C-alpha cells in the first residue's frame, strides 16, 4: 500500500481531535484550542484548509496580507 502523506495524517489527527473535543465540550471549541489539543500549529489549520479548497486561495491570501 502507498504511504499516507503528512498532510493526510494531520487532517486525520485534526478530525479525530475535533470529534473528541466536540463530544467532551460541545461545539464551542476554538481553532486555537483544537490545534493545541492536536499538537499542531494554529496556522497549520488554515494551510490544510487552503490545500483542501484551492478555490479559496486567492481570497485567503488577500485577507492574510491585511493581517
SS percent in the chain: helix, strand, coil, step 5: 80, 0, 20
For the residues 15-38, what does the mean pLDDT come to?
Answer: 90
Better-predicted residue by pLDDT, 50 or 25: 25
Go through the domains of the chain in sequence order and give each one's CATH number: 6-66 (1.10.10)
| pLDDT, mean over the chain | 78
pLDDT of residue 61: 63
CB atoms within 10 A of CB 46: 14
Cell numbers linked to 5: 502523506
Q: How many CB atoms lie within 10 A of CB 66?
A: 5
Query: What integer is the mean pLDDT of 28-35?
Result: 90
Determine the pLDDT at residue 67.
47
Task: Note if the pTM is more than 0.75.
Answer: no
Amino acid at each position: 500500500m502507498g504511504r499516507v502523506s503528512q498532510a493526510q495524517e494531520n487532517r486525520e489527527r485534526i478530525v479525530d481531535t475535533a470529534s473528541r473535543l466536540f463530544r467532551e465540550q460541545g461545539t464551542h471549541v476554538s481553532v486555537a484550542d483544537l490545534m493545541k489539543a492536536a499538537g499542531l500549529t494554529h496556522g497549520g489549520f488554515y494551510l490544510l484548509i487552503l490545500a483542501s479548497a484551492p478555490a479559496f486561495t486567492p481570497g485567503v491570501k488577500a485577507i492574510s496580507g491585511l493581517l
